[in-house]
């Protein structure tokens, strides 16, 4: 059975005191998490160990990095490697977020390399895919997302792909206040699962968690998560409020 996941992406937010305060609130929040309903908190690199320390006693809430580099080590100033994340026992890493693709020119090929090295070091990728507004308006979103998946994930074995979490994020709904309708979210999640099934088989596709990312809030999380192929959310702005994000976790 695939996991239900409420994942927080803090992006480049929070000073150290703010991060400590938010983590402390999350560590004492009344949230219902189990082995099958988990939460993942993706914090800036500087706060990875702090997050692990504060959340250590909280079962089924895990810490994630927001990115990793394609190489094991070397002269890559400012980057962080999967080997470093493994040494800190970080179990998840976000790969291919639309902001990384857009602002840092990350290609499908580069993201394939990042997925490879994350898996090599036993870190589960949260692989992001999704279309911009012009692609949605042209009606070509299905083929666009399918190409992202094929270019970055279809080289994986069945044993590898089952470790990947997919996050579908319609770029036009990130931080804009716009949200895909429940029907739009379900349609794309169903399409993603069908694409995965075509390559890896129905059994594997039905056991891969696919999250929705795009202006998820406490007020709309429950109805979005109720869609049959939506297994939770990758949450940006709303995850910076402990009470709001707790509501989202409990909406799983």
Q: Give me the sign of the Cα torsion angle 47, 252, 180, 105.
A: positive
Contact assessment for residue 211 and residue 205, using Cβ atoms and an 8 Å cutoff: no
Residue 32 is among the residues annotated as catalytic for this protein: no
DSSP E strands in 66-218: the ranges are: 92-95, 124-129, 165-168, 210-212
**What CA–CA distance (Å, rounded) separates 70 from 51?**
24
- The beta-carbon contacts of 11-17 under 8 Å, at least 24 apart in sequence, are 11/66, 11/99, 11/236, 12/44, 13/44, 13/240, 14/43, 14/44, 14/47, 14/240, 16/46, 16/47, 16/50
- The beta-carbon contacts of 173-181 under 8 Å, at least 24 apart in sequence, are 173/214, 173/215, 174/98, 174/213, 174/214, 174/215, 174/236, 175/215, 175/236, 175/237, 176/215, 177/215, 178/214, 178/215, 179/214, 179/215, 179/216, 179/220, 179/224, 180/212, 180/214
List the catalytic residue out of 99, 131, 169, 189.
Answer: 169
Residue 169 is among the residues annotated as catalytic for this protein: yes
List the catalytic residue out of 97, 99, 106, 131.
Answer: 97
Q: Which two tokens stand for residue 127?
A: 């692989």
Which residues are catalytically annotated?
A: 97, 169
């Amino acid at each position: 059975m695939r996991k239900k996941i409420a994942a927080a992406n803090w992006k480049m937010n929070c000073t150290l005191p703010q991060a400590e305060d938010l983590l402390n609130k999350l560590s004492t929040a009344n949230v219902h998490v189990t082995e099958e309903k988990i939460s993942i908190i993706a914090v800036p690199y500087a706060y990875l160990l702090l997050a692990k320390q504060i959340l250590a006693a909280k079962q089924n809430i895990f810490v994630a990095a927001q990115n990793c580099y394609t190489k094991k080590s070397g002269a890559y100033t400012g980057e962080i490697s999967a080997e470093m994340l493994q040494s800190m026992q970080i179990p998840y890493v976000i790969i291919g977020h639309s902001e990384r693709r857009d602002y840092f020119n990350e290609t499908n090929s580069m993201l394939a390399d990042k997925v490879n090295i994350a898996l090599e070091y036993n870190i589960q990728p949260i692989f992001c895919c999704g279309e911009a507004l012009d692609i949605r308006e042209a009606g070509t979103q299905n083929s666009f997302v399918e190409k992202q998946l094929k270019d970055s994930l279809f080289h994986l074995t069945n044993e590898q792909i089952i470790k990947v979490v997919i996050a579908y994020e319609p770029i036009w709904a990130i931080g804009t206040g716009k949200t895909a309708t429940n029907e739009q979210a379900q349609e794309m999640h169903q399409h993603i699962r069908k694409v995965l099934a075509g390559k890896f088989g129905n059994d594997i596709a039905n056991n891969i968690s696919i999250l929705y990312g795009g202006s998820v809030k406490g007020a709309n999380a429950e109805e979005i998560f109720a869609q049959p192929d939506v297994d939770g959310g990758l949450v940006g702005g709303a995850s910076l409020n402990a009470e709001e994000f707790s509501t989202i976790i409990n909406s799983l």
